[in-house]
Amino acid sequence: MRYGHRFAIVVATAASLAGLVGWPTPLLAETPARTPTQVAGIGECNILTDPFAPELGPFAFNLANPTSPLPDTIDPAIKSRITASGLPCQDSFRPAGPEDSGLEDLQHGFDFFSWLSFIAWNSPADPAVTIDRSQPDMQTRWENMDNFKQLLDVMLDSQSSPPRWPTDQNEMEKEKVRLLPPVCRALYKPGMMVVKMIEESYNEPFKTGPLIDQQGHYAIFDILMNRTMFDYISAHHLFSKAGQQSAENFELAVDFPPGQNPVDAKPDAAHPQKAVVGDIGAVMLKVSWKILVPDEIKARNFHMVNALVSMPKVEGSKADPPCLQETLGLIGFHLVHKTVSRPQWIWTSFEHIRNVPDKDEVAANKFSEDRYSFFASKCDGRCPEINATPPRPWTPDPALQLRFRKDDSTKSQIVRKVPLTQAARNMNKLFHIVLKDTVWENYMLLSTQWPSDFNCTSQKVDFQRQPDMTCSPAPTFLANSTLETYSQAEDQGGVPLATSSCIACHGNAVSFQKNPDSEAKPTAGQLRTNQSDFTFMLEKAP
Amino acid sequence: MAASCITCDVAIVGSGFAGSLIANELSQSGLKVVILEAGRGVQPNINDDMNRFYNAGAKVPESASPPDMLGDPLKLAAGRPTTLMLGPDWNKPEKSYLVQKGPRPFTSTYERAAGGTGHWLGTSLRLVPSDFTMKSSFGKGASHFPFPDWPKDINSKTLSAWYGKAEAELGVSADVGEQSFLGIEFPSDYSYPMPRIPGSLLDRHIGDALAQLTPEKTKFLGMDKPVTSIKVRSLPAARNSEPYRNRRACAGNTNCIPICPIQAKYDPTITLNEATNHGAQLVDHAVASEIIIENDRVRQINFIRYDKETSPHTEPGCIKAKVFVIAANAIETPRLLLMSKNKGRTAKGVANSSGLVGRHLMDHPYYLAWALMPPGKPVFPYRGPLITSGIGDLCDGPFRARRAAFRMDIGNEGWNFVVAGEKFGSDPHVTTIDFINGTNASGLNVAEHNQLGKNNAALLGVDLAKKLSDLMTRQFRIGFLVEQEPDPSNRVTLSELRDVLGLQRPAIHYNISDYTRQGIVAAYRMQKLIFEKMGATDFTQLPVAPPSGPTQFEEKIDGKPVTLSYGGAGHIMGTYRMGEDPKTSVVNSFQRSHDHDNLYLVGSGTFPTGGTANPTLTLSALALRTADKIACSLRS
Amino acid sequence: MNTSPNHERHATAPGAIDDEQRGEFSRRKVLGGAMAATALVAAGPINSSAYGASADPDSDPYMMAFLVLSQALTGIRIINLAPEFAPDKNNPGVLNADPGTDPINVKNDYFKWINTSDPAIFEKLLQIAREHSTSASDIINGVNASDDTRFLARSITLLWYLGSWYRPADLKSAPPTGKLLDSTVVSAKAYTQGRVWQIAQAHPMGYSNMQFGYWSRDPKDPKTPDPLNFISATIP
């Protein structure tokens, strides 16, 4: 298979699997802010275990078309291997495995990569607790301010700019407090998550609509970046329009550092920012939250966070919108990781199992869950239209405090149009056994979208990436029911460019950079100067 | 009936550009606004439209939107003219929604749906100063000069601030320096919302070719000074050149018409959604049927609600408001006015004391030419927006006393728009089929041009791929939008034929005058000049089959008879024009009816002259000015 | 800009067979969560002849024969028709290669479509490809030897180039002045996978994966011959 020719095959043996050594701790205080050329820290990520290693037992089986039923229990040795495997630095799979086709083998590998990443990031921030003994309300690693920063704490107005990301815990806390909305100050306590809402926090991408839960509340969205992304943005002054448009960035082709396995070789002259040891590389998150009601808090089925949510400013109003104290439940999790082998990034999407049913369940009127957050299975023939956007106005009314309407009558009725594949379901089943009796067994992987045309990345010119210049994403379409609710593939199948596809859509992302010469004296095949490396974050710069 | 009328402050008929902009402005100032839309409402996403488009054989402007384009116009509740109705059956009322009385076809179309004619290209040009003052500039002393002046308070200078507001709302990309020509002025601190869209390779080639000209060659233009070079300027467009208001920047999908897959091109559903977000209410599938007048004021508008396009179930409705705005485009608006007879009290129609409602119908007849670059000089079409640049510098000059002005578009889509077959497919289908099947619909597959030594060559394999690569990369086309003067016999009236809702269908009487034909002749000369300077071989052909006869005419050019033809630009103007005198105009400069104080008629139907610029930006500027006026009048 | 006077118009409806072909076909799921074509039993076009379809797109040798045929007819290298195509090291010879499965997999759609339209003549074409799998020109001569193969070959070429199906019978009866023919867009996916656009160094209208500003630059360095390596007479 041609995949084999194109990338470094790194197959980990059981012996080389390392547990996670430890996350940066406050003991690293006083080290200067990292620049992209510095080392991220040995042990922050690991060489990915071979998904088809026989030691992994059922994880290495054919999951798309299993030859025998999957087990209900998993050997404890395999379990602890999984929970301790840590964050993969990069992907590296062979297209030769137990599945029926090379493409399915790779999908299996990427889905395994996604799950391990999910476990790594959602493990408790407290290194003493492993994920299999975590509680629903424990702060996760990604929620820790040492690991991820929210987009709105980077794209600051000119008075608060530039953003800072110290390495010292106290300094980090100070920066967080500095950026608190004034109305939240009185309510804030250290450790609380603070979600500052803008339009994109309640209105899905490109204004496709808000999502309203069964209690009549808005779902809330947030975007975060890791240090590698932050360092790059900071170093190149991309956190403001003026910075993006300055002369130093005329020639800059935005290229976030990729994750890669520890390599013993010398640094790659062509990519000086590649670390010589394992580097996580750029990671970005998009998460969706539900406002939990007392019953849900008690039931402890969602990963929960004690949060302050400051509502979006109302156009034309001078009043400060309220800051609300809410318990947020995690309902959707997009994890996007750039690796040296996938410069179009790897796009992982998870959801809570009780968000929505899929269309087969609806057609058969047989639901796997007894209730859903965004679907009413019993509505006495007066069910709202499926996947319809709510009626306008969509802007949250401060007086209603994140309720969509006064009377809670509007609720989204959402159905997943593309059911999970059998392979994904089976992998979820296995991981749920590992995560049994933790809140994380309530989260499932939808799929992983990854660029399948490996020849794509070595080409220099736009047109040389054939036949698909976004490098043939696999699967072609992918939508999370809470984050791309209204752009799902309809019954006639996915429509190119219109139906949600992570890579196809993010491939359109550009920044505000200009190159005054590029139009006057264009070079044939020149790299564009305002692409923003598959992230829309840069266009949020003020 | 009165008990069940919708009541509001402002009722707007039509949710296109003008209707949506006015709805948005007024709902933001706290007024209760209700919009009646004849067609479907706003869709939650464009997936269905994109799917329809991708699967369409004929990728005409309507190929993205329902209803069935080939449907019987007699059976649709909110029918409208479509491109496919303009064939040999153009004047057969059972095939064409517009009852075309001739003598020539009116070849422009529109949409009836939320967002109006959202399949537009995106060009957002301002009119040049002379366009507003045709009579005083070119017709002084000529009593039969057909062009009037616009009202005194509407000219290039007074409209500038409103143009700026419209450019902000639509999101126009352009460069002030480049757009300051032919007298167009901008405030010193003004800049367009976004930088201009970069030009294409073809734009640059044409610009280079026209950089050095001899005055003898350009004398035919009749400009005020000898022309020794002609500038190609990028077209201001409502197309994002950078992220703007949560919309993506253009990715060069080369599909502005009919639909931008990523909504980098503005369409009125964007503003319409803002309006409904601010409290405006949209009533879709509601066709206004009569404007009811009482004591010289509009008391209410009656409408018919229907559930589906064909064999609909219908229900009557009505709406009462303080102010009424008709924004239904320059054919449907006069139709509604003329239909509103008020049991004989307004036998000539509403707002029609002048008798001019429906008259002075204008379009921009569109003249197309295409060519092939010489070998080794590719221009790489099918890349970028459909049109990125054009020539506007020739649209004003002393010649306007004698012949129509033109503006030139440079097409980035090869021969897609010009070389086509019968019902499906246009280039690249035509060129491709020619060389696979050994036919010659494109004109390329003859020994003289195909460099294969024989006619009707049929190729396969590498020979085919190389030949197509060579030929297609050298194809290009240009188009000329030619001015029409307001002619009272070009008009919209009511036909006896009714649509499925029982409403009289619009009848069109249309011709192009010698003034306009001479403009097309000048465009023809321009075509020749450009192709000569580029070394390109002219492939312009008349449509093969006779049905297009009525769009053709013969002119003697340099002693030889030349047959030319025109198409439509989709720019429907003039049918309820503005003016200071109620005897010679329908509305005043605020687009308020002279006859009824609480009735406004908006859109390009109010244009007294058409110029050569696309009407969209100007009608948007006027709409914002009207919205401001309405808000003021309701506050006091 | 709205209407081109040069587009002929006829308000006749598409042919019945086309409707059926397309109607059935469009119900086939485009790859969403589903991965390999193997997993899906596609509802293909209605079989328009009595010949039972035996050619199997999921059989590697059949698919390779189709890809060899397709390269010969289109001039486009197999790797650009089937991006996951890979020779088998243990079993040289292009007919023994692995056609691969890619997320888009338009080759499978086309195979099924052609095989349903004209299975007998399709089989003839595949046989010609098998017999001359190392020489594109021999394949071309072979298909041009008789009318039935000649015109189906043209339909297949047009299918790869445009994503639309032109029936062989229509191609055969087309007059030399080229009155344009009836055609059917096979699917939205097929339209966006048309190869003629890449040959023109562009992209299908309405489907660009490129970025802002690309149109102001030359698609390639003019000094580099065929940097795409898209076209080749040497199979594969």
DSSP string, B246-284: TBPPP---S-TTT--TT--B--THHHHHHHHHTT-EEE-
- C42 located within any domain: yes
Which tens digit of pLDDT belongs to each residue from B437-476?
A: 999 989 999 999 999 999 999 999 999 999 999 999 999 9
Instruction: Give the strand pairing for A220-226 and B297-306.
Output: unpaired
Instruction: Give the strand pairing for B406-411 and B560-565.
Output: unpaired
Measuring CA to CA, which residue among B326, B332, B351 is closest to residue B507? Answer: B332
Instruction: For chain C, give the secondary structure using H, E and C.
Output: CCECCCCCCCCCCCCHHHHHHHHHHHCCCCCCCCCCHHHCCCCCCCCCCCCCCCCCCCCHHHHHHHHHHHHHHHCECHHHHCCCCECCCCCCCHHHCECCCCCCCHHHHHHHHHHHHCHHHHHHHHHHHHHCCCCHHHHHHHHCCCHHHHHHHHHHHHHHHHCEECCHHHHHHCCCCCCCCCCEECCHHHHHCCCHHHHCCCCCCCCCCCCCCHHHCCCCCCCCCCCCCCECCCCC
Distance CA B464, CA B458 (A): 8
ipTM score here? 0.94
B248 contact residues in A (CB cutoff 8 A): 206, 508-510
pLDDT band at B606, cuts 50/70/90? very high
Best residue of B367, B445, B464 to probe chain C, by most C CBs closer than 10 Å: B464
Q: Enumerate residues 6+ apart whose C-beta is below 8 A from A173.
A: A145, A190
Beta bridge partners of B411: B387, B477
Distance CA B47, CA A387 (A): 13
Residue A524 CA from chain centroid, whole number: 35
Q: Give pLDDT, residue A40.
A: 28
Which tens digit of pLDDT belongs to each residue from A100-155?
A: 888 899 999 999 999 999 999 999 998 888 899 999 999 999 999 999 999 999 99
Distance CA A532, CA A540 (A): 12
Taking a C-beta distance cutoff of 8 angstroms, is the pair C184, C18 a contact? Answer: yes
The domain made up of B2-80+107-120+267-362+574-635 has a fold known as: FAD/NAD(P)-binding domain (3.50.50)
Tokens matching residue A513: 């950079």
Measuring CA to CA, which residue among B125, B126, B142 is closest to residue B134? Answer: B142
Which tens digit of pLDDT belongs to each residue from B174-191?
A: 999 999 999 999 999 999
**Backbone φ, ψ for residue A340 (5° rounding):** -65, -30
pLDDT band at C86, cuts 50/70/90? confident
Distance CA B208, CA C218 (A): 16
Measuring CA to CA, which residue among A426, A92, A423 is closest to residue A259? Answer: A92
Distance CA A165, CA A234 (A): 10
pLDDT of B509 over the 50 cut? yes
pLDDT of C129 over the 50 cut? yes
Higher pLDDT, A82 or B342: B342
pLDDT (tens, 9 = 90+) of chain A, 542 residues, equals 222 222 222 222 222 222 222 222 222 222 233 322 222 223 378 887 789 999 899 999 999 999 889 999 999 999 988 888 888 888 887 778 899 888 899 999 999 999 999 999 999 998 888 899 999 999 999 999 999 999 999 999 988 889 999 989 899 999 999 999 999 999 999 989 999 999 999 999 999 999 999 999 999 999 999 999 999 999 999 999 999 999 999 888 888 998 888 765 445 556 554 444 567 899 999 999 999 999 999 999 999 999 999 999 888 788 889 999 999 999 999 999 999 888 889 999 999 999 999 999 999 999 999 999 999 998 887 889 999 999 999 999 999 999 999 987 899 999 999 999 999 999 999 999 999 999 999 999 999 999 987 666 554 444 444 445 678 899 999 999 999 999 999 887 899 999 999 999 998 899 999 877 666 666 655 555 568 889 999 999 99
pLDDT of C102 over the 80 cut? yes
Got the DSSP string for B329-362? HHHHHHHHHHH--GGGTTTT-TT-TTS-TTBS-B
Domain boundaries, chain B: 2-80+107-120+267-362+574-635
Tokens matching residue B564: 């030319």
Got the DSSP string for B164-194? HHHHHHHT-B--HHHH--TT----TT---SB
In chain A, DSSP finds a helix count (H) and a strand count (E) of 12, 9
Tokens 């499978």: give the residue: C108
- C11 located within any domain: no
**Backbone φ, ψ for residue B149 (5° rounding):** -85, 155
Residue A13 in 3-state DSSP? coil
To the nearest whole angstrom, how far is the Cα of C200 from the nearest Cα of chain A? Answer: 10
Is B44 close to A536, i.e. CB distance below 8 A? Answer: no
**Backbone φ, ψ for residue C160 (5° rounding):** -65, -40
Distance CA A71, CA A74 (A): 7
Is C180 close to B422, i.e. CB distance below 8 A? Answer: yes
- C140 located within any domain: yes
Is A467 close to C193, i.e. CB distance below 8 A? Answer: yes
C179 contact residues in B (CB cutoff 8 A): 421-422, 441, 544
What average pLDDT does the segment B425-440 reach? 91
To the nearest whole angstrom, how far is the Cα of B595 from the nearest Cα of chain C? Answer: 34
Q: Give ∠ CA B124-B130-B135 in degrees, rounded to 5.
A: 130
Residue C38 CA from chain centroid, whole number: 19
Residue C65 CA from chain centroid, whole number: 13
To the nearest whole angstrom, how far is the Cα of C65 from the nearest Cα of chain B? Answer: 16
Structural domain boundaries, residue C193 = 16-216
Taking a C-beta distance cutoff of 8 angstroms, is the pair B36, B64 a contact? Answer: no
Chains that touch A (3 or more CB pairs under 8 A): B, C
Chains that touch C (3 or more CB pairs under 8 A): A, B
pLDDT of B423 over the 50 cut? no
**Which among B70, B460, B465 is the nearest to C140, CB-wise?**
B460
Taking a C-beta distance cutoff of 8 angstroms, is the pair B97, B79 a contact? Answer: yes
To the nearest whole angstrom, how far is the Cα of B485 from the nearest Cα of chain A? Answer: 39
Cis peptide before B615 (omega within 30 of 0): no
Can you state the angle between helices B17-28 and B615-635, rounded to 10 degrees? 30
Got the DSSP string for A102-150? HHHHHHHHHHHHHHHHHHHHHSBSSTTS-GGG--TTSPBTTTSTTTEEE
Is C26 close to A493, i.e. CB distance below 8 A? Answer: yes
**Backbone φ, ψ for residue B332 (5° rounding):** -70, -30
Q: Enumerate residues 6+ apart whose C-beta is below 8 A from C162.
A: B428, B429, B432, C183, C194, C196
pLDDT band at B60, cuts 50/70/90? confident
Taking a C-beta distance cutoff of 8 angstroms, is the pair A456, A343 a contact? Answer: no
Sign of the torsion formed by the C-alpha atoms of A180, A181, A183 and A184: negative
Whats the size of chain A, residue-wise? 542
To the nearest whole angstrom, how far is the Cα of C38 from the nearest Cα of chain B? Answer: 25
Q: How many structural domains compose chain C? A: 1
A499 contact residues in B (CB cutoff 8 A): 47
Q: Give pLDDT, residue B310.
A: 79
The per-residue pLDDT of chain B, averaged, comes to 94
Tokens matching residue A164: 């800072």
Is B45 close to A388, i.e. CB distance below 8 A? Answer: no
First CA to last CA distance, chain A: 47
Instruction: Give the strand pairing for B286-294 and B297-306.
Output: antiparallel
- C4 located within any domain: no
- C9 located within any domain: no
Q: Enumerate residues 6+ apart whose C-beta is below 8 A from A67.
A: A61
Chain A: residue nearest B47 by CA?
A: A498
Is C215 close to B241, i.e. CB distance below 8 A? Answer: no
Best residue of C79, C84, C199 to probe chain A, by most A CBs closer than 10 Å: C84
Q: Give pLDDT, residue A20.
A: 27
Check residue A487 and report its DSSP letter.
G
Measuring CA to CA, which residue among A207, A156, A232, A231 is closest to residue A389? Answer: A207
Q: How many CB atoms lie within 10 A of CB B398?
A: 11
pLDDT band at B309, cuts 50/70/90? confident
% chain A with pLDDT above 90: 63
Check residue B578 and report its DSSP letter.
B
- C8 located within any domain: no
- pTM (2 decimals)? 0.91
Distance CA B160, CA B157 (A): 5
Best residue of C1, C25, C134, C165 to probe chain B, by most B CBs closer than 10 Å: C1
Is C200 close to B473, i.e. CB distance below 8 A? Answer: yes
Best residue of C26, C30, C79 to probe chain A, by most A CBs closer than 10 Å: C30
Q: Give pLDDT, residue B2.
A: 45
C23 contact residues in B (CB cutoff 8 A): none
Is B54 close to A495, i.e. CB distance below 8 A? Answer: yes
To the nearest whole angstrom, how far is the Cα of C196 from the nearest Cα of chain B? Answer: 8
Compute the count of residue pairs across chains A and C with CB atoms less than 8 Å apart: 166
pLDDT of B434 over the 50 cut? yes
Tokens matching residue A302: 């969602």
Q: Give pLDDT, residue B308.
A: 84
Higher pLDDT, B86 or C197: C197
Residue B492 in 3-state DSSP? strand
C29 contact residues in A (CB cutoff 8 A): 493
pLDDT of B399 over the 60 cut? yes
Residue B50 in 3-state DSSP? helix
- C185 located within any domain: yes
B51 contact residues in C (CB cutoff 8 A): 188
Measuring CA to CA, which residue among B76, B91, B117, B112 is closest to residue B503? Answer: B76
To the nearest whole angstrom, how far is the Cα of B51 from the nearest Cα of chain A? Answer: 6
pLDDT band at C52, cuts 50/70/90? very low
The per-residue pLDDT of chain C, averaged, comes to 77
Distance CA B369, CA B384 (A): 20
Got the DSSP string for A227-259? HHHHHHHHHTTTTSHHHHTSGGGSS----PPPB
Best residue of A508, A532, A535 to probe chain B, by most B CBs closer than 10 Å: A508
Distance CA C222, CA A166 (A): 49
Got the DSSP string for B133-151? BHHHHH-TT-TT----BPP
- C10 located within any domain: no
**Which among B44, B54, B273 is the nearest to A486, CB-wise?**
B44
Which tens digit of pLDDT belongs to each residue from B531-589?
A: 999 999 999 987 655 445 788 999 999 999 999 999 999 999 999 999 999 999 999 99
Distance CA B449, CA B434 (A): 13
Tokens matching residue B475: 């194809």
